[in-house]
Amino acid sequence: MTVASERHTELRHQDADIRARASRVIPGGMYGHMLANEHTLPPSYPQFYDRGEGALTWDVDGNRYIDFMCAFGPMLLGYRNPRVDAAVAAQLAIGDTLTGPSPRMVEFAELLTATIAHADWAMFAKNGTDATSAGVRIARAATGRSKFLKAAVAYHGANDWFTPRAAGVTAEDRANIVEFEYNDVASLEAALTEHAGDVAAIIVTPFRHDSFVAQEAVDPEFARAARRLATAHGAALLLDEVRTGFRLDVSGAWESLGVRPDLTAFSKALANGHPISALVGVDALRAAASEVYVTGSFWYSAVPMAAGIATVTEAVAQDAPRVIRDAGLRFKTGLEAQARAAGMPLELTGPVQMPLMIFADDVHKKRAFAFTDAAIRRGVLLHPWHNMFLSTAHTPEVVDDALARTQDAFDELASLDL
Amino acid sequence: MTVASERHTELRHQDADIRARASRVIPGGMYGHMLANEHTLPPSYPQFYDRGEGALTWDVDGNRYIDFMCAFGPMLLGYRNPRVDAAVAAQLAIGDTLTGPSPRMVEFAELLTATIAHADWAMFAKNGTDATSAGVRIARAATGRSKFLKAAVAYHGANDWFTPRAAGVTAEDRANIVEFEYNDVASLEAALTEHAGDVAAIIVTPFRHDSFVAQEAVDPEFARAARRLATAHGAALLLDEVRTGFRLDVSGAWESLGVRPDLTAFSKALANGHPISALVGVDALRAAASEVYVTGSFWYSAVPMAAGIATVTEAVAQDAPRVIRDAGLRFKTGLEAQARAAGMPLELTGPVQMPLMIFADDVHKKRAFAFTDAAIRRGVLLHPWHNMFLSTAHTPEVVDDALARTQDAFDELASLDL
At B213, phi and psi to the nearest 5? Answer: -115, 165
Confidence band (pLDDT; 50, 70, 90) for A10?
low
Q: How far, in Å, CA of A163 to CA of A210, rounded? A: 13
Helix axis angle, B185-194 relative to B220-233, nearest 10°?
10
Strand partners, B65: B57
A325: number of Cβ within 10 Å: 17
> Hey, are the CB atoms on B74 and A88 less than 8 Å from each other?
no
Q: Do A67 and B126 touch (CB under 8 A)?
A: no
Cβ pair B127:A296 closer than 8 A: yes
Chain B residues lying within 8 Å of A130, measured CB to CB: 127
What is B82-318's CATH topology? Aspartate Aminotransferase; domain 2 (3.40.640)
Question: What single DSSP character describes residue B10?
Answer: S
Average pLDDT over every residue of A275-285: 98
Q: Are strands B177-180 and B147-151 parallel, antiparallel or unpaired?
A: parallel
pLDDT of residue B222: 98
User: B341: distance to nearest CA of chain A, Å?
Assistant: 30
CA atoms of A72 and A389, how far apart (whole Å): 7
**Smallest Cβ distance to A103: which of B18, B31, B95?**
B18
pLDDT digits (tens, 9 = 90+) for A195-232: 999 999 999 999 999 999 999 999 999 999 999 999 99
Domain with CATH 3.40.640.10 in chain A: 82-317
Please give the average per-residue pLDDT across A291-302, as a whole number.
96
Report d(CA A353, CA A332) in Å as an integer. Answer: 9
Distance CA A168, CA B141 (A): 4
B298 and A275 within 8 Å at the Cβ level: the answer is yes
Residues of chain A with Cβ-Cβ distance to B25 below 8 Å are 106, 109-110, 113, 120-122
DSSP string covering A206-249: SSB--SSS--BPPPHHHHHHHHHHHHHHT-EEEEE-TTTTTTS-
| pLDDT band at residue A332 using 50, 70 and 90 as cut-offs | very high
Q: Which of A51, A66, A69, A96 to mutate to test the interface with B (most CBs of B within 10 A)?
A: A96
* B309: amino acid identity, one letter: I
Going by pLDDT thresholds of 50, 70 and 90, the confidence category of residue A7 is low
pLDDT on residue A329: 98
Task: Provide, as residue numbers in chain A, all residues whose Cβ is less than 8 Å from the Cβ of B277.
Answer: 297
Radius of gyration (Cα) for chain B, nearest Å? 22
Beta pairing class for B56-59 and B49-53: antiparallel
Taken in order A392, A398, A404, A410, the sign of the CA dihedral is negative
Span(s) in chain B for CATH 3.90.1150.10: 11-72+320-413
CATH number belonging to the domain at A4-79+320-414, selected among 1.10.3720.10, 3.90.1150.10, 1.20.1260.10, 1.10.10.10: 3.90.1150.10
Q: Is the pTM of this model over 0.90?
A: yes
Portions of chain A given CATH number 3.90.1150.10? 4-79+320-414
Nearest to B273 among A26, A97, A295 (CB): A97
Q: What is the 3-state secondary structure (H, E, C) of B134-198?
A: HHHHHHHHHHCCCEEEEECCCCCCCCCCCCCCCCCCCCHHHCCEEEECCCCHHHHHHHHHHCCCC
How far apart, in whole angstroms, are the C-alpha atoms of residue B231 and residue B240?
18
Please check the confidence at residue A311 and state whether its pLDDT lies above 60. Answer: yes
Residue B368 falls in which region: left (phi positive, over 0), alpha (psi -120 to 50) or beta: alpha
Helices A396-414/A366-376 angle, 10° precision: 120
On the CB side of A56, how many CA atoms lie within 13 Å of its CA? Answer: 11
How do residues A166-198 score in pLDDT, each as one tens digit?
899 999 999 999 999 999 999 999 999 999 999
pLDDT given at position B220: 98
pLDDT of residue A270: 98
Task: Among 3.40.640.10, 2.40.30.170, 3.40.50.1370, 3.30.365.10, name the CATH number for the domain at A82-317.
Answer: 3.40.640.10
> Which among A250, A251, A243 has a CA at the least distance from the CA of A267?
A243
From the candidate CATH numbers 3.30.460.10, 3.90.1580.10, 3.40.225.10, 3.90.1150.10, the one assigned to the domain spanning B11-72+320-413: 3.90.1150.10
pLDDT of A129 over the 80 cut: yes
Q: Do A286 and B27 touch (CB under 8 A)?
A: yes
Cβ contact A273–B381 (<8 Å): no
Contact A51 B133 (CB under 8 A): no
CB under 8 Å to A221, separation ≥6 — which residues? A185
ipTM exceeds 0.90: yes
Least Cα distance to B56 among B47, B69, B45, B65 occurs for B65
The verdict on a CB contact (< 8 Å) between A167 and B293 is: yes
* Residue pLDDT tens, chain B, 418 long: 344 446 665 567 899 999 999 999 999 999 988 877 778 899 899 999 999 999 999 999 999 999 999 999 999 999 999 999 999 999 999 999 999 999 999 999 999 999 999 999 999 999 999 999 999 999 999 999 999 999 999 999 999 999 998 899 999 999 999 999 999 999 999 999 999 999 999 999 999 999 999 999 999 999 999 999 999 999 999 999 999 999 999 999 999 999 999 999 999 999 999 999 999 999 999 999 999 999 999 999 999 999 999 999 999 999 999 999 999 999 999 999 999 999 999 999 999 999 999 999 999 999 999 999 999 999 999 999 999 999 999 999 999 999 999 999 999 998 887 7
Is A19's pLDDT higher than 80?
yes
Using a CB-CB distance cutoff of 8 angstroms, which residues of chain B are in contact with residue A96?
273-274
The closest of A92, A57, A55 to A307, measured between CA atoms, is A92
Residues of chain B positioned with their CB less than 8 A from the CB of A110: 21, 25
Among the partner-chain residues B96, B106, B275, the one whose CB lies closest to the CB of A298 is: B275
CA-nearest residue to A143 within chain B is B168
Nearest C-alpha neighbor of B59 from the set B19, B97, B32: B19
Domain span(s) for CATH 3.40.640.10 in chain B: 82-318
Q: At B280, which helix (H) or strand (E)? A: strand B277-281
* Chain B positions in Cβ-Cβ contact with residue A30 (cut-off 8 Å): 101
> A-B interface: how many C-beta pairs under 8 angstroms?
333
Report how far residue A140's alpha carbon sits from residue A137's, in angstroms, rounded to the nearest whole number: 5
Amino acid at B202: I
Average pLDDT, chain A: 95
Measured CA to CA, the distance from residue B61 to residue B239 in angstroms comes to: 40
Contact check, Cβ <8 Å, A297/B268: yes
B-interface mutation test, from A94, A98, A108, A161, most B Cβ less than 10 A away: A98
- A-chain residue closest to B303, CA distance: A274
Q: Which of A272, A297, A380, A390 to mutate to test the interface with B (most CBs of B within 10 A)?
A: A297
Q: Which of A13, A23, A31 to mutate to test the interface with B (most CBs of B within 10 A)?
A: A31
Determine, for residues B99 and A49 on separate chains, whether the beta-carbon distance falls below 8 Å.
yes
β-pairing, A277-281 with A263-266? antiparallel
Give Dmax over CA atoms of chain A in angstroms: 65
CB contact under 8 A, B101 and A70: no
The SS3 of residue B263 is strand
CB-nearest partner of A50 from B95, B136, B167: B95
Class of residue B82 by CB neighbours under 10 A (exposed 0-12, middle 13-18, buried 19+)? exposed
Report the distance separating Cα A131 and Cα A35, nearest Å. Answer: 24
Of A72, A95, A169, nearest to B297 by CB-CB distance is A72
From B48, B72, B138, residue closest to A168, measured CB to CB: B138
Integer CA distances (angstroms), B24 to A119, A120, B8, B255, B300, in order? 12, 8, 28, 48, 35
Cα separation, B298 vs A71, whole angstroms: 9
Judged by CB atoms closer than 8 Å, whether chains meet at A129 and B32 is answered as: no
